[in-house]
Amino acid sequence: MCELCKAGLAPRRHTAKGPSRRQFLRGAVASAAGAAFLPTFMTRPAMAQAMPAGVGEAGRRTLIKGGYILSQDATVGDFIGDVLIEGSKILQVAPSIDAADAEVIDAAGRVVMPGFVDTHHHQFETALRSYLPNGIMFADPTREGEPNYLDDILGKFSKVYRPEDVYIAQVFGGLSQLDAGVTTVLDVSQIHHSPEHSNAVIEGMQAVGRRGVFGYFEGYGPYLQYPQDARRIRSEYFASDDQLLTMLMGGEAYLPGIDPLDLWNLGKELDLMVGLHVVGSLGMRETMDRLIPHYTDKHLFIHMTGMSDEAWNRAKEVGAHISLSVPIEMQMRHGQPPIQKAIDMGLAPSLSVDVECTMTADFFTQMRGAITWQRALANEAALENGPENAPALLSARDVIEFATINGAKGLKLDHKTGSLTPGKEADIILLDATALNVAPLNNAPGAVVTLMDRTNVETVLVAGQIKKWQGALVGQDIATLRDQITASRDYLFEAAGVEIPLFD
């Protein structure tokens, strides 16, 4: 048995020289353009649906007509109207557009808005969904015997992942979010045990076909090439930043034996943003204070719980971005979600889903979690101290900004996505406001935040390409995918020596 097999890091079939990307993507076929190898289920023709012909093709025009437009661009505004797309780009947004040569998507009764932007998601954990519904981040002596995130998810499960487990997790998790209207993601993939694991992350993201940022974070084991493999990955996959996928450098401040400044400097060398978890309950306040002089506008700080005023002031001064995972922060003992602090500092935070082992990855949950948490605090302050001494209440429109344009800005992608602005790429979702859980529509942003869920996501476009049409993902064999993610789940639990806790 080779060393890779002994370490549990090999795909099922590989050569003595090391694992091959082609070998672990079973049933793969080459695309006509010779791009990434995809399993056969990803190359099957689209479902037999009456989709508009030629949507997204170069030079082809598509008119989304008669929808409730929530543009997220103050210069465009909100109204009942039309969106004209040419190829991958938004050409015009107006109350009425005459485009006789365009294919028409009837959007009557639909909210038309930019797709959601998720600024922090551990997609490799898709096969572990709901395993840790009652868990917290770390061991607690009052919860003896209960699994926790650091010891069990990262300490046990993540170490037995094979490249094929990584790949199917990326595909299944990415398609699930696309189905829910999340058109852009930052994948924080702490699974880089070998270059083949890294390749599997990227190619899984490519196979889904949505906009994304590949977050190159840590891994484990004898074949670990983190962080130096960032140079190969940048050159091989991300030589251009003008593509659907871009790259971010993981720069954690808690990794044993690694100076975070070495990671931050590597990100600077490669001209990449740097992202890291900033969690007060993990004792990171002193470390982040020490690093204050090195904060930049290319830093993305995830959670930012329990940090000093000095750290917050520096983040504001340099223009760093704050990503909040409000439901997870409340659920898993990260510390109080600092949504009010971010608002008070004028930092325009974004939203992120974090881990599906504990909480769903849809953005309706994220928006409702954020607005109810902030309003609970502000309402309590108003009752205790008078409304004139309480923070202003977040509105539905505010949290839609968090979920769209703020996330795009945080990932440095607002020149491409995050709003329905002419010239940007057509990352657009149509939400059914005629559905039983919404009709009659009286307030469009209010309905999106307080009434809707993933079932209302009817149509999804990424860069002008239809990815979901009238309630169904296009071109996907979900049954085959489900079998593959289930087989991966079975392997991971067996390899980790953990029983599936079906009924606790």
Which domains are assigned to the chain? 61-115+418-471 (2.30.40.10), 116-410 (3.20.20.140)
The rounded distance, in Å, linking the Cα atoms of 306 and 338 is: 8
Are the C-beta atoms of residues 162 and 20 closer than 8 Å to each other?
no
pLDDT of 54 reads 66
Using alpha carbons only, what angle is made at residue 266 by residues 261 and 267, rounded to the nearest 5 degrees? 95
Residues 6+ apart with CB under 8 A from 227: 216, 249, 250, 258, 262, 263, 266
Residues 6+ apart with CB under 8 A from 181: 115, 116, 363, 429, 431, 454, 457, 460
3-class SS at 166? helix
The rounded distance, in Å, linking the Cα atoms of 172 and 204 is: 9
The rounded distance, in Å, linking the Cα atoms of 494 and 496 is: 5
The rounded distance, in Å, linking the Cα atoms of 360 and 205 is: 19
Judging by DSSP bridges, how do beta strands 245-250 and 211-216 pair with one another? parallel
Four-residue CA torsion sign, 417, 124, 452, 390: negative
Per-residue pLDDT of the chain (504 residues; tens, 9 = 90+): 444 444 444 443 343 334 444 443 333 333 333 334 344 433 333 343 466 766 667 778 999 999 999 999 999 999 999 999 999 999 999 999 999 999 999 999 999 999 999 999 999 999 999 999 999 999 999 999 999 999 999 999 999 999 999 999 999 999 999 999 999 999 999 999 999 999 999 999 999 999 999 999 999 999 999 999 999 999 999 999 999 999 999 999 999 999 999 999 999 999 999 999 999 999 999 999 999 999 999 999 999 999 999 999 999 999 999 999 999 999 999 999 999 999 999 999 999 999 999 999 999 999 999 999 999 999 999 999 999 999 999 999 999 999 999 999 999 999 999 999 999 999 999 999 999 999 999 999 999 999 999 999 999 999 999 999 999 999 999 999 999 999 999 999 999 999 999 998
pLDDT of 504 reads 81
The rounded distance, in Å, linking the Cα atoms of 18 and 324 is: 39
Are the C-beta atoms of residues 179 and 425 closer than 8 Å to each other?
no
- The reported pTM is 0.90
At which residue do the structure tokens 């001494």 appear? Answer: 389
Fill in the DSSP letter of residue 467: E
Using alpha carbons only, what angle is made at residue 119 by residues 115 and 124, rounded to the nearest 5 degrees? 105
pLDDT of 50 reads 60
Q: Which two tokens stand for residue 102?
A: 């365009």
The rounded distance, in Å, linking the Cα atoms of 53 and 461 is: 14
Backbone dihedral angles phi then psi of residue 162, each to the nearest 5 degrees: -95, 160
